[in-house]
Amino acid sequence: MLQITKKSKRDIIMEQAAALFKEQGYPAVSMNDIADKVGVKAASLYNHIKSKEDILQEICFRFAHEYMTQLNRIAQSEQSISHKIAAIIDLHVTLGTHNAAAIIITNYEWKHLSEPYLSDFKAMRKSYEQTFMDIITEGVAKGVLKGIDPTIVMFTVLSALRWIPFWYNDKRGVTIEDLKTNIKTLILKGLEKE
């Protein structure tokens, strides 16, 4: 089978651990559980990772960074407010459907990080939310968005988007494109007709 770069054992551990963390939550998963899934004894994992939290850190920061980078690019672009919000929705749908396990962990398991990583992560998350909120506030000021409280909009929209990897599943017959256009319609144009 052709593949440019072989998946390292570390990557396999990350992948299997992510699947378990997603299903059971970080504290409920033991090193033994991870080892079993990888097909190795627990102690052998330490040839590839530093600690259990090492796994959590890698996942959380990798995707937090990915979100930040992409959001900043959207925020600094010269597009309209509506376009920016649409792009943010697309971003969350894309990441949330292609990397469901890792995104769930980034969104819900980060609280198990220890200091100083926890504080770093929280700062990134806050910055992310603020950037999003600035876009909404600008939209309201310019009169292109309804005068809804920006904090409420930000959390409501972000909540809807962060939940996608929990319920989305190809087998439901909803394509990723469906998801993008439908959520954009719902959020931007609302549920009621005309």
Partner DNA sequence: AAAACTAACTAACGCTTGTTAGTTTTATTG
Partner DNA sequence: CAATAAAACTAACAAGCGTTAGTTAGTTTT
- Segment holding 160, helix H or strand E: helix 150-162
Residue 105 binds to DNA (criterion: CB under 7 A): no
* CA distances in angstroms from 149 to 92, 146, 183, 186, listed in the order given: 22, 9, 20, 18
Q: Which tokens hold the place of 99?
A: 């990397």
Work out the widest C-alpha separation in the chain, in whole angstroms: 62
Return the residue of 56, 85, 95, 105 that touches a copy of itself, per CB under 8 A: 85
The piece of 9-17, 40-48, 54-62, 166-174 that touches a copy of itself (CB under 8 A) is 166-174
**Contacts (CB under 7 A) with DNA, residues 45-64:** 46-48, 51-53
Query: Roughly how many angstroms between the first and final C-alpha of the chain, as a whole number?
Result: 53
Determine if 171 is a binding residue for a copy of itself (CB under 8 A): no
> What residue 151 binds from DNA, a copy of itself, none (CB within 5 to 8 A, per partner kind)?
a copy of itself
DSSP secondary-structure letter at 115? Answer: T
Q: Which residues bind a copy of itself (CB under 8 A)?
A: 23-28, 82, 85, 108, 111-112, 143-146, 148-149, 151-153, 155-157, 159-160, 162-164, 166-168, 172, 174, 178-179, 182-183, 185-193
